[in-house]
């Protein structure tokens, strides 16, 4: 009875047309006292405007974060996914301006499709982002990466930026961004980006050197954003389209001579529209709505006429999603706020694969959260409900009677933060999360496993931060122990293709780990020096069946030790960056045997940037700027593999030039 009552309360939330946003660049929105005091800070964040030569891909930024593994299958067209603290990529929510980027087909968000051109800030939360007016799905994620769009403050009625990147792997990537102030309350942002690369690079293979083939990519991204203000509120609209045609470089194994390693090709046509509206009705009460519609079309072909060893597949997928989120927030007292968020999402997938199965999923999310914030101590608590209905049919079944499965879960969480002195901050959290198997996991015979169970994860963690106040010299040390337990963990193991996977449950996985981050910066005259040292210890063990051959083994692709060193030296308008990362030994299967052993590796990237300030143009308040950059990846030409059988590029050079006005 209690659950039904809470569900009824969540469903009865009023639908007010609003959207939660941070301070607006057109005119700052009202910021309440509780929102300005986050309970759990972002574990790490990167402001792209501070980087002289910012990496072009999101995956290259996320590699710098502590406790993160980015799987990369090599080449510009290769799949790239993120795993945080061994939870798995499906428990990591990727949010663009507060709305989740998801994929019901396989729940693998490809980071390679994201560009950093239009982003201003990237934040990683291991626990919970603690701001008002979030979506219910944001509360439900085990960990979260929040991508914030950049909205420059225009000194003139318009501004823009043209960039050109090119170099290794036959890459050429021009992009154009345009910002226009349409009125005092309305701003337009439009962008276009094209990428072309042949993806060819040499790599050592057994006793010879070969060239990586079928890793080419051609893509075009077009998007436009509108942001405006109304009395007591604000709204935004984001239109996005992406098209690509790429090859999948296959795994490097011994083959008969005369045949290519892979002839798999994939083309994509993605489109989404998202946005919302925020309204602050009184000094204490605010509401928000966010919405999204997406349409993703994929064509996959193995081209057996080019590779007779490949199984003949010519598959087409059409995935559509509709999403609506309503959030309300009320400040009961200066130190106490309460939020209620309700989300509804519908996913549909049509395909000519797997006996023409056509699954549909309707999901409801409800979140009730409260926060108490004082000067020295802050706490938050929340409970999230998720209920999902699945139905599917085949031509043989006739109608939607094949299955009507309902799955549900409750996900509570609690966090506390304290700062007894200005140089010490301590916080701790406990959080439960839940994730359903994807459509591919369940319904496609070539990939799926109808017996798969949903995952349930429990996270316990703490952060101890020591540091000095901002000044000419600043340092900070963060120590973060944690423990995770995932029951019925779904593990995706690639077969001979990046497109087809083997899915299986590992009954229970326990991860005991610790992240350590020490960073410092020093300012003196024209000089600025920054350094960051990061180390992660992750003991992620299979605890499914005592006495089995895999019990107590490290789960696939999780290193016991990993870390990185970042150093930056700025002098006037010059900047030199050094980034070295290390990943310890791993196994590609739960059976930790020599056949599946992956050697440790380390790589170093070096970048050099120069800013040229040009004379002001006529009738323009802003001076144009020209930025020149050169990046050398894998400086010491170390051979390495992130995923077994997929060698990564050796030393490579990439140049970048951008002009902004």
Sign of CA dihedral 553, 555, 556, 557: negative
Mean pLDDT score, 43-59: 69
| % of the chain residues with pLDDT over 90 | 52
Residue 376 CA: distances (Å) to CA of 33, 42, 313, 466, 580: 14, 18, 61, 15, 37
pLDDT at 395: 63
pLDDT at 451: 62
- Residue 221 CA to residue 243 CA, distance in Å, equals 7
Comparing CA positions, the residue from 41, 74, 82, 78 lying closest to residue 58 is: 82
pLDDT at 20: 33
Q: Give SS3 for 131.
A: coil
Backbone phi and psi for residue 547, each to the nearest 5 degrees, phi listed first: 90, -10
Position 310 pLDDT exceeds 80: no
Based on DSSP, count helices (H) and strands (E) in the chain, helices before strands.
4, 35
Q: Give SS3 for 169.
A: helix
Which option is the CATH number for 15-660: 3.40.50.300, 2.40.170.20, 3.40.605.10, 3.40.50.720?
Answer: 2.40.170.20
Position 244 pLDDT exceeds 90: yes
Mean pLDDT score, 287-302: 95
Cβ(607)–Cβ(626) below 8 Å: no
Position 100 pLDDT exceeds 90: yes
Banded model confidence at residue 643, pLDDT cuts 50, 70, 90: confident
User: What does the pLDDT look like over 593-609, one tens digit per residue?
Assistant: 998 999 999 999 999 99
- Sequence spans of domains, the chain: 15-660
Comparing CA positions, the residue from 458, 406, 410 lying closest to residue 432 is: 458
Q: What is the CA radius of gyration of the chain?
A: 25
User: What does the pLDDT look like over 10-23, one tens digit per residue?
Assistant: 333 333 333 333 33
- Residue 342 CA to residue 364 CA, distance in Å, equals 7
Comparison of pLDDT for 494 and 136, the residue scoring more: 136
Stretch among 57-66, 144-153, 243-252, 639-648 having the lowest mean pLDDT: 57-66
Comparing CA positions, the residue from 553, 563, 598 lying closest to residue 583 is: 563
Comparing CA positions, the residue from 20, 260, 253 lying closest to residue 148 is: 20
Comparing CA positions, the residue from 237, 238, 235, 336 lying closest to residue 287 is: 235
- Residue 383 CA to residue 403 CA, distance in Å, equals 29
Mean pLDDT score, 250-263: 64
Q: Greatest CA span in the chain, whole angstroms?
A: 78
Cβ(531)–Cβ(566) below 8 Å: yes
Cα-based angle 338, 40, 17 (whole degrees, multiple of 5): 40
Comparison of pLDDT for 547 and 535, the residue scoring more: 535
Banded model confidence at residue 501, pLDDT cuts 50, 70, 90: low
- Residue 230 CA to residue 509 CA, distance in Å, equals 50
Stretch among 276-280, 469-473, 511-515, 528-532 having the lowest mean pLDDT: 469-473
Mean pLDDT score, 125-132: 82
Contacts 24+ apart (CB under 8 A), 469-472: 469/422, 469/423, 472/522, 472/523, 472/524
Strand partners, 11: none
pLDDT at 134: 93
Mean pLDDT score, 49-64: 72
Alpha-carbon dihedral of residues 48, 49, 54, 58, nearest 10 degrees? 20
Classify residue 595 as exposed, middle or buried by CB count within 10 Å of its CB (0-12, 13-18, 19+). exposed
The pairing of strands 92-96 and 143-149 is parallel
Position 642 pLDDT exceeds 70: yes
Provide the whole-model pTM.
Answer: 0.87
User: What does the pLDDT look like over 391-405, one tens digit per residue?
Assistant: 887 666 555 555 667
From the centroid of its chain, how far is CA 14? Answer: 31
Interacting residues of 628 by C-beta distance below 8 A, sequence separation 6+: 609, 610, 612, 656, 657
- Residue 186 CA to residue 350 CA, distance in Å, equals 39
Backbone phi and psi for residue 342, each to the nearest 5 degrees, phi listed first: -130, 130
Classify residue 209 as exposed, middle or buried by CB count within 10 Å of its CB (0-12, 13-18, 19+). exposed
- Residue 134 CA to residue 384 CA, distance in Å, equals 12
Position 273 pLDDT exceeds 70: yes
**Residue linked to tokens 């400040």:** 331
- Residue 18 CA to residue 38 CA, distance in Å, equals 22
pLDDT at 403: 60
User: What does the pLDDT look like over 22-37, one tens digit per residue?
Assistant: 333 233 342 333 334 4
Residue 380 CA: distances (Å) to CA of 141, 150, 198, 363, 412: 16, 29, 50, 25, 11
Strand partners, 269: 243, 297
Residue 420 CA: distances (Å) to CA of 374, 396, 414: 12, 67, 20
């Amino acid at each position: 009875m209690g659950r039904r009552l809470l569900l009824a309360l969540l469903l009865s939330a009023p639908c007010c047309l609003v959207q939660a946003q941070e301070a607006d660049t057109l005119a700052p929105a009202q910021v309440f006292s509780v929102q300005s005091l986050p309970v759990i800070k972002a574990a790490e964040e990167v402001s792209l405007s501070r980087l002289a030569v910012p990496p072009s891909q999101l995956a290259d930024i996320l590699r710098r974060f502590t406790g993160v593994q980015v799987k990369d299958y090599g080449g510009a067209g290769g799949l790239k996914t993120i795993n945080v603290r061994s939870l798995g990529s499906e428990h990591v929510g990727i949010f663009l301006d507060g709305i989740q980027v998801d994929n019901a087909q396989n729940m693998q968000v490809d980071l390679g499709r994201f560009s950093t051109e239009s982003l201003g800030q990237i934040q990683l939360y291991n626990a919970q982002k603690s701001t008002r007016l979030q979506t219910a799905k944001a509360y439900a994620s085990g960990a979260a990466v929040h991508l914030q769009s950049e909205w420059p403050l225009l000194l003139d009625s318009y501004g823009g930026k043209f960039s050109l990147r090119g170099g290794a792997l036959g890459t050429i990537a021009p992009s154009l961004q345009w910002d226009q102030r349409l009125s005092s309350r309305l701003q337009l942002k439009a962008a276009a980006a094209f990428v072309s690369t042949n993806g060819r690079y040499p790599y050592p293979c057994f006793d010879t050197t070969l060239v990586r083939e079928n890793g080419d990519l051609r893509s075009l991204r077009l998007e436009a954003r509108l942001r405006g203000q109304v009395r007591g509120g604000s709204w935004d609209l984001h239109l996005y389209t992406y098209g690509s045609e790429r090859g999948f470089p296959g795994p490097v194994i011994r083959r008969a001579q005369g045949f290519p390693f892979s002839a798999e090709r994939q083309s994509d046509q993605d489109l989404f529209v998202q946005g919302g509206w925020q309204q602050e009705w009184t000094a204490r009460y605010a509401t928000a709505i966010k919405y999204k519609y997406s349409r993703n079309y994929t064509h996959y072909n193995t081209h057996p006429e080019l590779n007779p060893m490949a199984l003949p597949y010519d598959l087409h997928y059409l995935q559509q999603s509709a999403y609506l989120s309503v959030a309300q927030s009320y400040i009961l007292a200066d130190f106490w706020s309460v939020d209620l968020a309700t989300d509804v999402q519908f996913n549909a997938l049509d395909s000519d694969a797997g006996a023409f199965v056509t699954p549909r999923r309707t999901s409801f999310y409800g979140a009730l959260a409260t926060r108490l914030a004082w000067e020295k101590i802050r706490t938050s608590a929340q409970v999230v409900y998720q209920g999902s209905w699945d139905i599917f049919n085949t031509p043989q079944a006739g109608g939607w009677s094949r299955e009507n499965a309902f799955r549900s879960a409750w996900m509570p969480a609690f966090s506390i933060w304290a700062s007894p002195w200005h140089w010490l901050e301590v916080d701790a959290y406990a959080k439960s999360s839940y994730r359903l198997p994807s459509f591919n996991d369940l319904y496609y015979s070539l990939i799926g496993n109808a017996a798969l169970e949903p995952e349930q994860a429990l996270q316990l963690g703490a952060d101890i931060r020591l540091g000095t106040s901002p000044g000419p010299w600043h340092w900070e040390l963060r120590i973060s122990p944690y423990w995770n337990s995932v029951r019925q963990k779904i593990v995706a193991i690639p077969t001979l293709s990046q497109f087809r996977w083997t899915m299986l449950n590992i009954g229970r996985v326990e991860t005991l780990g610790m992240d350590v981050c020490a960073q410092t910066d020093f300012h003196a005259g024209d000089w600025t020096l920054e350094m960051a040292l990061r180390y992660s210890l992750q003991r992620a063990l299979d605890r499914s069946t005592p006495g089995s051959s895999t019990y107590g083994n490290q789960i696939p692709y999780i290193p016991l030790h990993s870390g990185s060193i970042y150093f930056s030296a700025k002098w006037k308008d010059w900047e030199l960056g050094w980034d070295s990362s290390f990943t310890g030994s791993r196994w590609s299967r739960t059976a930790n045997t020599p056949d599946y052993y992956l050697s440790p590796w380390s790589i170093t990237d070096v970048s050099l940037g120069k800013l040229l300030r040009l004379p002001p143009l006529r009738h323009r308040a802003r001076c144009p700027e020209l930025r020149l950059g050169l990046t050398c990846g894998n400086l010491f030409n170390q051979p390495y593999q992130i995923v077994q059988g997929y060698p990564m590029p050796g030393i490579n050079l990439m140049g970048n030039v951008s002009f902004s006005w």
